[in-house]
Structure 1
Amino acid sequence: MNVRDIMEILEADIIWASETGLDAEVHTACGSDMMSDVLAFVKDQSVLLTGLVNPQVVRTADMMEMHCIVFVRGKVPDDSIIELAKERDIVLLKTRFRMFTACGRLYQRGLRGGCEKE
């Protein structure tokens, strides 16, 4: 699966993406609003789904080498967050779906989590 597939599954809009960002391969995803949990428990994730809209989301995704952040519930980051994602080449998407639904749709289509406790 690639980021473009995720965009389609979640009926998501692009906030920002590089020319090649939508073609990045993804194998796992994680949904969380607690970045400390992402740092503590997540391994080998490609996509982060969150309703949290602050710079720490991009910094966390960058530290975890994620390719894409999906903001749920139609959340839109401000320009400073978008600039940070551009600097780190992380695709930003937004979907109208709530976290539970977005994660469920991805899971149903074969995307799994890579969490230690799964």
Structure 2
Amino acid sequence: MKLNEIVQKLNGKVLNSKINLEIEVKGAGGADLMSDVLASIQPQAILLTGLCNPQVVRTAMMADVLAIVLVRGKTPPAETVQLAENERIPLISTPFGMFEACGILYQAGLSCLEKPVSDQDCFAG
């Protein structure tokens, strides 16, 4: 699915310029904990998140994320937009919440690109 289709399906607003909306997206993952993004989101995914600080862009860079979708209509600070612009990472805002946005994309055929987490990871002391 192309990024421009994702923007359309999510009633999204592209927040930065000079980006390629024709890139092909193979899957997505959703998280608000950036440690979860680093541990579970596979490369070339889009990230759906409720966080909009510059750390989201830095984490996306490290995780090889193609684009960031901010849920619940969030508007990031100018610093976040500028960093995404500099790194050429599309930054998109959708009015949908995380659950609904993920469901819309999954129903449209976008695959999950999250690695499973073992029970041991959840109960580590």
What 5-or-longer segments of structure 2 have no aligned partner? 118-125
Equivalent residue number for residue 74 of structure 2? 75
Instruction: Indicate whether 1:10 and 2:7 are aligned.
Output: no
Tell me the number of residue pairs that the alignment of Structure 1 and Structure 2 aligns: 117
1:28-69 superposed Cα distances (whole Å, 9 cap, x missing partner): 101111110010122124201111111110001111121211
Q: Deviating runs (4+, > 4 A) in structure 1? A: none
Distance across 2 between alignment mates of 1:14 and 1:115: 24
Equivalent residue number for residue 58 of structure 2? 59
Equivalent residue of 2:21, what SS? helix
Where in structure 2 are the equivalents of 1:20-99 lying within 5 Å?
21-99=20-98
Q: Highest Rg: 1 or 2?
A: 2
Preserved contact between residue 45 and residue 65 of structure 2 (Cα < 8 Å) = yes
1:77-103 superposed Cα distances (whole Å, 9 cap, x missing partner): 111001100111000110100000000
Equivalent residue number for residue 107 of structure 2? 108
The letter for the 2-side match of 1:57 is V
Preserved contact between residue 47 and residue 65 of structure 2 (Cα < 8 Å) = yes
What root-mean-square deviation, in Å, do the aligned CA atoms of Structure 1 and Structure 2 show?
1.3
TM-score normalised per structure 1: 0.93
The letter for the 1-side match of 2:107 is Q
What 5-or-longer segments of structure 1 have no aligned partner? none
Fraction of identical pairs, as percent: 45
Distance across 2 between alignment mates of 1:52 and 1:109: 24
Distance across 1 between alignment mates of 2:62 and 2:32: 16
Which has the larger displacement, 60-69 or 88-97? 60-69
Preserved contact between residue 28 and residue 114 of structure 2 (Cα < 8 Å) = no
Equivalent residue number for residue 117 of structure 1? 116
The letter for the 1-side match of 2:68 is I
